[in-house]
Amino acid sequence: MAWYQDKNRRTYVATYKSEKEMRKDVEEAVKHGWTLQDSAATGGHINVGRTVAPAVLTGGISLLFGASRSKDKVTVTFLRDERWLARVAVDEALKAFKDAQASVKDSAARERSERGVVEARVKTLEGIDGFDRETPERNLESALKQLIKVTETALEHSRKMPAKILALRQAHEEAIRVGADVAQMTIDFDAEASQAKFDADRLSTWLRQEQEMLTSQQNIMKFLHDWQEASGKEQKASVRLEDAERQLTEARTALESAPPDRAEKAGKRVRDAEEERAKRESELSQARSETARHSVFLEGGLRKKGESASKLMQSFSGGASIQTPTPSVAADLPASPAAPTPELAAASEDVLGQLERLAALHKAGALTDDEFAAKKTDLLSRL
């Protein structure tokens, strides 16, 4: 970078032997806001003290070099014109402000677009139960991650705006102070600063709520996985129990028709089949208990996610929230999720025990289907 391009310089002293070199420097320096304070010659006389500044300011240098001079060195002191610097500072600050405005506008448009995707994903999940939830829940998780990313970018741009506004305001005030020829600003600095703060505060709130919803959504994916896995084990246990019962029936039939010499062997086969059936009944009972436990976790997680989604949608719209009903998953018996959060695990222990006793009463016929459903809903609401 040449010395005359350095905006931090205020003075520069140069000594020339060549008129061509001097002419080039003066011409370039004038373009970058320099004027000449003085010049002196060694080994001869050069009377240019009064003619240099007018020559440069009017864009000509003929008076400078038309003066009496010797072939020896000429020393020139260059001074930076503070009015030129002030105009440049205003131009640069205005460009930075407009660039920041464009970034805010662009990032806000992308944030609105991704927000619409999340809202659509939330609505898609309304009323969906069982295994059908996995793909739309995963799509919602992906959409939330993308929304958080663009919200962070939008927030970053909004937070930069106040500094750009202040820099432009100060540059313009300084230009007026030094008498620089700058246009009158039509920007309402106070209004712009207030809007930037409002945008940043709103985006900050949205970002926090989006992150809370993402945490709930990630828990849902874990709970859904475990619930599905437990349900799959229950279904397999049910098939094994059916096989054991079939084998027991066959063994008893064989015992009834077995001749005396084979009765002992047929009886042993019946006892073995009875033991196998008891084993499979215990296995199925444990599987059902595990499925019920994960059902509790999943329904509690869906309720919590629904609250986060409703809160976020309300913030987006600035009005009534979009309702996100929690579907019943216990009756569907699809599958499950991962390790429950400590608060959900603690809250579910007592509920699980009561839910198991309630299921036993229902199975025994002590409760009707409607009574069982009402009691189950009441228990789950306590999470």
Same domain, 132 and 213: yes
pLDDT in tens, the chain (383 residues): 889 888 888 899 988 888 888 888 888 998 888 888 755 544 433 333 333 444 444 444 444 443 334 456 788 888 988 999 999 999 999 999 999 999 999 999 999 999 999 999 999 988 776 667 889 999 999 999 999 999 999 999 999 999 999 999 999 999 999 999 888 888 999 999 999 999 999 999 999 999 999 999 999 899 989 998 999 999 999 999 999 999 999 999 998 888 888 888 988 999 999 999 999 999 999 999 999 988 888 888 888 888 888 889 888 887 333 334 444 444 343 333 334 444 444 454 565 556 666 666 656 566 676 776 677 666 655 54
Do 308 and 216 form a contact (C-beta atoms < 8 A)? Answer: yes
* Residues 376, 241 share a domain: yes
User: Is the separation of the CB atoms in 151 and 98 below 8 Å?
Assistant: no
Identify the domain boundary among 181, 201, 221.
Answer: 221
Which among 173, 199, 221 is the end of a domain? Answer: 221
Nearest to 175 by CA among 63, 89, 303, 268: 89
- 261 and 362 assigned to the same domain: yes
Residue 318 lies in a domain: no
- The three-class DSSP label of residue 93 is helix
Q: Give the residues across from 14 on adjacent strands.
A: 76
Give me the CATH number covering residue 176.
1.20.58
Residue 60 pLDDT: 42
What is the pTM (predicted TM-score) of this model? 0.65
Is there a domain that residue 320 lies in?
no
Residues 367 and 251 in one domain: yes
182 and 246 inside one domain: no
pLDDT at 321: 33
Domain containing 365 equals 225-313+336-380
Distance CA 367, CA 359 (A): 9
C-alpha–C-alpha distance, residues 261 and 84, integer Å:
121
Residue 325 lies in a domain: no
Kind plus residue range of the DSSP H or E element containing 34: strand 34-41
Kindly state whether residue 286 falls inside one of the protein's structural domains: yes
Distance CA 283, CA 274 (A): 14
Please spell the DSSP secondary structure of 59-81, one letter per residue.
Answer: T--HHHHHS---SS-EEEEEEE-
Cα separation, 349 vs 271, in Å, equals 37
Burial of 20 (0-12, 13-18, 19+ CB in 10 A): exposed
Which of 161, 187, 221 delimits the end of a domain? 221
Residues 131 and 76 in one domain: no
- Indicate whether 50 and 128 sit together in one domain: no
* pLDDT, position 43: 41
In a domain, 328, yes or no: no
- 321 inside domain: no
48 and 161 together in one domain? no
| Residue 213 and residue 263 in one domain | no
> Length of the chain in residues, anyone?
383
Q: Do both 234 and 212 map to the same domain?
A: no
Tokens of 101: 């405005």
Is the same domain home to 106 and 66? no
373 and 352 co-located in one domain:
yes
Alpha carbon of residue 67 to chain centroid: 69
Domain count, the chain: 3
